[in-house]
């Protein structure tokens, strides 16, 4: 009898692995770990045919060199910034992600953070909990309708944030090197980065974390924002230079921020971003809902199942690997 394939799951944050076992059970030996770093999962992956990955990493060329028969690395989430895609392509390893399972959740979370900044919901709730029933400390407050939202990154999430913002009567600008001015049917104006930062009352970040976007929000770009503007980050923490953000808040260069993603993550306690009146932080929760979880859990094992059955997977993020992939598909 042919040897069963081996699938290793580096880490997971959900209660049950029934979905994985059901999808892969008859095809593969399934090894589920709860690791954070390569050193912890390396001893288990040397003979794996597929690697399922949530957050553990980074998955570098060195890590890949230790998995000579691995045919696919399937990420459960959207961002693949912790996987060296060039190295995977060179090694013939297919990399997949799950690009749409939580779009609506992140869009709604970005709107929630934007509204929390505009209407000072979190600020007032903290006051009321402390026994202070008073409108005055929240002043000044501004109307969302008629204000300008600048979206950096205008892909799946950015475009749907634009649609929600339009319903709030906001003017929307976007900066995206790939999406063209008339490519979407949304009422959003393409702008260059400087113009967007200068004109926006809210700047919301939705690009991938790549070398061009790492620390793109820094001392210089923060200084281009309005002193009354808020920054929202539901994308990836390192897109913002954390030290520069702290400096900008200290010097009142911007009015405040709301962050679902931070650098580092989690933020140590204490940290200069924690405990500020004009900062709202959620613990990388934008992606989560009960419905998104169903889509999340089925996606990556589905891709592994396809590859182990000789089918080309659906969401390949390094398509150039087609010509030399180890699975021979």
Which residues are catalytically annotated? 236, 265, 284
Q: Looking at residue 282, what DSSP letter applies?
A: -
State in angstroms the smallest separation of the CB of 5 from ligand NAD: 29
Residue 186's Cβ-count burial label (10 Å; 0-12, 13-18, 19+) is: middle
Query: In terms of DSSP bridges, do strands 256-259 and 148-152 run parallel, antiparallel, or are they unpaired?
Result: unpaired
Take residue 317 and report the two structure tokens written for it.
Answer: 């993020």
The nearest distance, CB 159 to ligand NAD, in angstroms, is 8
State the Cα–Cα distance between residues 27 and 3, nearest whole angstrom. Answer: 10
* Pairwise CA distance, residues 115 & 110, whole Å: 9
Give the residue nearest to ligand NAD (CB): 155
Look up residue 132 and give its two tokens. 């202070």
Residues of the shown chain interacting with ligand NAD in the complex, contacts defined by CB under 6 A = 78-79, 99, 102, 106, 152-158, 175-179, 206-209, 212-213, 234-236, 260-261, 284, 286-287
Distances (CA, A) of 188 to 2, 124, 251, 278: 56, 32, 31, 28
Residue 13 or 69 having the CB closest to ligand NAD? 13
Residue 247 has phi, psi (to 5 degrees) of: -60, -40
Of 237, 238, 276, residue with least CA distance to 259: 237
For strand 94-96 and strand 202-205, is the pairing parallel, antiparallel, or unpaired? unpaired
CB of 153 to ligand NAD, least distance (A): 3
Question: Nearer to ligand NAD by C-beta: 205 or 327?
Answer: 205
- Degrees, nearest 5: CA angle 13-272-12: 5
- Do residues 221 and 192 lie in contact, with contact meaning Cβ atoms separated by under 8 Å? no
Asked if residue 110 lies in contact with residue 161, where contact means CB atoms within 8 angstroms, the answer is yes
Give the shortest CB-143-to-ligand NAD separation in angstroms. Answer: 27
Per the CB < 8 A criterion, the answer to whether 37 and 15 are in contact is no
Tell me the closest approach of the beta carbon of residue 321 to ligand NAD, in angstroms. 19
316, β-bridge pairs: 96
Residue 120 or 206 having the CB closest to ligand NAD = 206
- Shortest spacing between CB 2 and ligand NAD, in angstroms: 38
């Amino acid at each position: 009898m042919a040897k069963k394939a081996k699938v290793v799951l580096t880490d997971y944050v959900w209660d049950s692995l029934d979905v994985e076992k059901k999808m892969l059970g008859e095809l593969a030996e399934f090894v589920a770990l709860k690791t954070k770093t390569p050193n912890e999962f390396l001893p288990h992956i040397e003979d794996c045919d597929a690697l399922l990955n949530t957050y553990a990493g980074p998955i570098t060329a060195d890590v890949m060199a230790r998995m000579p028969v691995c045919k696919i690395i399937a990420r459960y989430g959207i961002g693949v910034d912790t996987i060296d895609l060039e190295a995977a392509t060179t090694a013939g390893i297919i990399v997949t992600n799950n690009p749409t399972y939580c779009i609506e959740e992140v869009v709604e979370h970005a709107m929630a953070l934007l509204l929390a900044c505009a209407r000072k919901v979190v600020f007032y709730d903290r006051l009321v909990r402390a026994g202070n029933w008073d409108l005055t400390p929240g002043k000044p407050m501004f109307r969302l309708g008629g204000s300008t939202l600048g979206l950096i990154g205008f892909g799946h999430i950015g475009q749907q944030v634009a649609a929600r913002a339009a319903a709030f009567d906001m003017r929307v600008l976007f900066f995206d090197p790939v999406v063209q001015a008339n490519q979407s049917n949304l009422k959003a104006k393409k702008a260059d980065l400087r113009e967007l930062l200068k004109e926006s009352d809210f700047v919301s970040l939705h690009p991938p974390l790549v070398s061009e976007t790492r620390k793109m929000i820094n001392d210089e770009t923060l200084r281009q924002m309005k002193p009354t503007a808020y920054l929202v980050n539901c994308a990836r923490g390192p897109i913002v230079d954390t030290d520069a953000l702290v400096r900008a808040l200290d010097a009142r260069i911007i009015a405040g921020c709301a962050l679902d993603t931070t650098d580092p993550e989690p933020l140590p306690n204490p940290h200069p971003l924690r405990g500020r009146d004009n900062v709202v932080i959620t613990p990388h929760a934008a992606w989560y809902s009960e419905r998104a979880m169903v889509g999340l859990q089925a996606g990556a094992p589905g891709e592994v199942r396809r590859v182990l059955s000789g089918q080309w997977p659906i969401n390949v993020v390094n398509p150039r690997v087609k010509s030399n992939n180890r699975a021979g598909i």
